[in-house]
């Protein structure tokens, strides 16, 4: 089995584990933003399934249809993270800025999806969204420094989620930016696969951090 395929299947297993843990905590008391995180996990399972289908041609779908499905699922998944930040920082001074930036990011993301489908370019629509996620992470840290000086970070569920999003976004932006510049010639297939694997590893780290955040709910300090 190729390393890239192993990472995809391993990542699917991690997402499945996060989903099972989310099910376990579904009826337990927890911050309201976890409803968006749980939906994010479900969408992650669908995206991973679509990736496997796309790689092995299990279904009779055109390349464009598979890409459209992938991009739409990624858009909805990003929306869950945006709503997560809005719910997390609902009492923050930065809330209005986050809401406006979130709406703007959705418009840009949708526009890029249309551009990709109409021009057959390899631009990743998620590039813009991950850039906005980095901005949201910055707002979280600023709010944390201003209002939560005594917060024990290693026991904070929100902190682990945000750090997972930050790590994923920092890796995703440069990696996805490289893809359009790599030729599609056969001799570059391995390189493209390796770069895509780096992106998948960053996603795996994000889901591991989400699992860690669920485990933090066992402690009294879980915000």
Residue 98 belongs to a domain: yes
Residue 223 belongs to a domain: no
Residue 11 belongs to a domain: yes
Which residue in this structure is represented by tokens 């979280």?
140
Residue span of the structural domain in which 152 resides: 3-216
Domain total in the chain: 1
Residue 9 belongs to a domain: yes
pLDDT at 67: 78
pLDDT at 182: 75
Residue 200 belongs to a domain: yes
pLDDT along the chain (223 residues), means of 10: 76 93 90 94 89 64 76 93 95 92 95 85 84 95 80 86 96 84 73 82 95 86 54
The whole-model pTM stands at: 0.90
Backbone angles phi, psi at 89, to 5 degrees: -110, 35
Residue 222 belongs to a domain: no
Do 10 and 60 touch, CB atoms closer than 8 A? no
Residue 221 belongs to a domain: no
pLDDT at 202: 92
Residue 165 belongs to a domain: yes
CATH number of the domain enclosing 73: 1.20.1070
Q: Which residues of 183-207 are buried (b: 16+ CB within 10 A; e: fewer)?
A: eeeeeeeeebeebbbebbbbbbbbb
């Amino acid at each position: 089995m190729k390393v890239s395929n192993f990472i995809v299947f391993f990542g699917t297993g991690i997402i499945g584990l996060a989903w099972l843990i989310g099910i376990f905590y579904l009826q337990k008391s927890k911050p309201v933003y976890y409803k968006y995180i749980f939906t994010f996990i479900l969408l992650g399972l669908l995206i991973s399934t679509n990736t496997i289908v796309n790689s092995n041609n299990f279904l009779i779908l055109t390349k464009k249809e598979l890409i459209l499905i992938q991009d739409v699922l990624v858009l909805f998944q990003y929306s869950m993270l945006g709503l997560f930040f809005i719910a997390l920082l609902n009492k923050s001074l930065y809330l209005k800025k986050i809401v406006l930036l979130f709406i703007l990011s959705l418009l840009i993301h949708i526009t890029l999806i249309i551009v990709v489908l109409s021009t057959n370019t390899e631009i990743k629509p998620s590039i813009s969204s991950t850039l906005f996620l980095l901005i949201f992470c910055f707002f979280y840290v600023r709010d944390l420094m201003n209002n939560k000086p005594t917060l024990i970070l290693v026991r904070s569920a929100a902190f682990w989620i945000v750090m997972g999003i930050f790590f994923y976004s920092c890796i995703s932006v440069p990696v996805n930016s490289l893809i359009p510049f790599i030729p599609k010639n056969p001799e570059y297939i391995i390189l493209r696969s390796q770069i895509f694997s780096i992106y998948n590893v960053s996603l795996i780290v994000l889901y591991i951090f989400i699992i860690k955040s669920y485990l933090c709910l066992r402690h009294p300090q879980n915000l």
